[in-house]
Amino acid sequence: MYKEFKNGRIFAGRLNFNDDILNALTEFCTIHNIKTGSISLIGALQHAKVGYYNQSEKKYNNSIEFNKKLEIVSCIGNISLKDGQIFIHAHIVLSDTNGNTFGGHLIPGCNVFAAEFWITEFIGEDLVRAKDEITGLYLWNE
Ligand code: ZN
């Protein structure tokens, strides 16, 4: 499936020291009623936690925690609706002091040192997630 959109509002901003990335971005999108769109973010974290989806078990494994200071090499994601709520799906790539990278599915637990984000709103029909029986994930459905 796919849908075609037009660009809507464009936002650029920064999160505050200690903000949780996913919670802060979800709150921002909810306050500004951004129901569909794309998100990018770069910066640095004081502490990180990411998820990994186990395809065989059809569930997220226990979160992977990084208790160190990290660069956010890239964090990209999208905004759509799940259960009538604004929902962000994003992935994050992090790097350590040696330049080694790792990452995963963005979950709460990524605490900002500094972070700049930019969001493009998409204008069109709502993009809605629904449970997909094959993958067990909430995928774009209509
Ligand atoms: Zn994901």
CA of 91 to the centre of ligand 1 (A): 6
CB distance 10 to 119 below 8 Å = yes
CB distance 11 to 128 below 8 Å = no
CA of 106 to the centre of ligand 1 (A): 7
CA of 89 to the centre of ligand 1 (A): 6
CA of 76 to the centre of ligand 1 (A): 10
pLDDT by residue for the chain (142 residues), tens only, comes to: 999 999 999 999 999 999 999 999 999 999 999 999 999 999 999 999 999 999 999 999 889 999 999 999 999 999 999 999 999 999 999 999 999 999 999 999 999 999 999 999 999 999 999 999 999 999 999 6
**What pLDDT shows up at residue 142?**
65
CA of 16 to the centre of ligand 1 (A): 24
CA of 100 to the centre of ligand 1 (A): 21
CA of 134 to the centre of ligand 1 (A): 16
**What pLDDT shows up at residue 117?**
98
CA of 110 to the centre of ligand 1 (A): 15
* DSSP characters over 87-138: EEEEEEEEE-TT--EEEEEE-S--EEEEEEEEEEEEESS--EEEE-TTT-SE
